[in-house]
Structure 1
Amino acid sequence: MFTNERVARSRTRTFLSERPDLDPARFKQEIQRVVEGVPPPPNVLDREALHRYAIDHILLPLETLGMSGYVYADRDESSLVASIVAGNVDAGFHWLHLVGQLIANRYTFYEPLTMSRHAIERCMQRTGSLTLEDMHEYLCQAFGSAIPLMTVARREHWQQCAVPVRDGLFVGSIGNGGAAWHMDTFIARKAHAQGSRWDRFKNLFPPFPDWSRDERRNIEVVGRWMNAELRRITAHATIVSRVSFLKRPHMPGFDRNAAAWELAPSKAKRP
């Protein structure tokens, strides 16, 4: 089952246009406001007290914005990590990622992942989804899996990105020395689909577990599962040694659906 391309395009645009609360620029301003408003912690705090201070003064206010995060300790530093998926009609979806070094009192903002509006439209079209709510599981699988995959990709020097989800995968380009992934399109891989070179990659991964609805929509649950699977998959051989074209930059392939749309006689009458 497929969703009409015109419907997918219109509904994606409408959803992103009608959600100014998801705008990345707004989130960045709000995150900056929270970080700049944090009073300096007392110098006498031990590590445990510093963590409580960070949770009360930084993490909880960020969670009111919709971000999820945690605080953890290394040998010489304590860190706070918080993230959220934002989006607008021009940018598609962006993963916004804040990392704070609590002892050094230094905060760094990253945007490691983007998913283009085209990729969202293609996912809706090729999975037969009718709303962004129908796609929630695919989007959570994509963003939850991508961060663990980025670690492997940088180690193996991938030149294009690929993220498996149920019924397909998101693929695209890599920038900033491997630190930024751009999911540019979605490729459906269903049981009845014609063979694809991407099957070599997709078949490395088992099906996603039969989680509850809430677990399927939880990026952290997906991320933990993907981390465990990647340890197993790469235990004896690299992914790039089995999918060698990952060493070449992403080049969009021929899109049969888009070509048919462009050639359709009634295209001029369509919005």
Structure 2
Amino acid sequence: MRALSLALLLLLPIDALAWGTLGHRLVALLAWDELDPAVRRDIDALLVGEPDPSLAGIANWADELRAHDPDLGRTSAKWHYVNLGEDGCVYRPERDCPNGACVVAAIDDQTRILANRDLPREQRLQALKFVVHFVGDAHQPLHAGYAHDKGGNDVQIQFDGRGSNVHQLWDSGMLNAAGLDEDAWLRRLKALPLTVELSQPALPPDSAGWAEASCRIATQPGFYPAKATVDAEYVQTWRPEAEAQLRRGGTHLAALLNAALKR
């Protein structure tokens, strides 16, 4: 099977679906700081009436759909990931994203909706919520990894004294183990050197390239822990890569939004 089954995906815990609440908020917060002032104003206008009218406030909305909109949650379940590990981390739409049901196509499709100012505000707001979340997903290596182990969900480990799996380890386990609050994490990530090269913001975004780069991380030797109990050495080796991906995700999201909402 090349992808997570919908039934299994809907049974997974929330923090096994993406970066976890903290990671997605951090990607959004990093992006906000890199947005053009006019784009910030457009986003603020779209967010009027939201419970938390901020980019970080909507960053986890797509993972919460199962609770407040189960039908849309089922429809969008496959939009969170793409399986490239078995195929050399090379994305081919007809093979890896049938009917546009993967994170690469979802980013492109929702960006087009967001950029279309002729569409209703509600439709564009929903697209913004999807885009913010899915760009984060595309930078989580296991969202572009192997199909055979369901993005690391089938690889059981012990971490921090509890049972877990490799997907959860990367979603939130390694980040939470650092013991930092959101503000401290944001300062830490902003201090990282930017390891992406950006030309002028343009559409469509390089969503396939982001997924392929994530896949190359997930398929590196040593990415999967060699021991069932994950030790400090693994965390010291790999958490910097997770941090770098969050940093890249924020910059890529900012470039996408600057391009989609430019006037």
TM-score (norm 2): 0.28
Comparing both chains, which one has the higher relative contact order based on Cα–Cα distances under 8 Å and sequence gaps of 6 or more?
2
Larger Rg belongs to: 1
Higher strand share: 1
TM-score (norm 1): 0.27
Higher helix share: 2
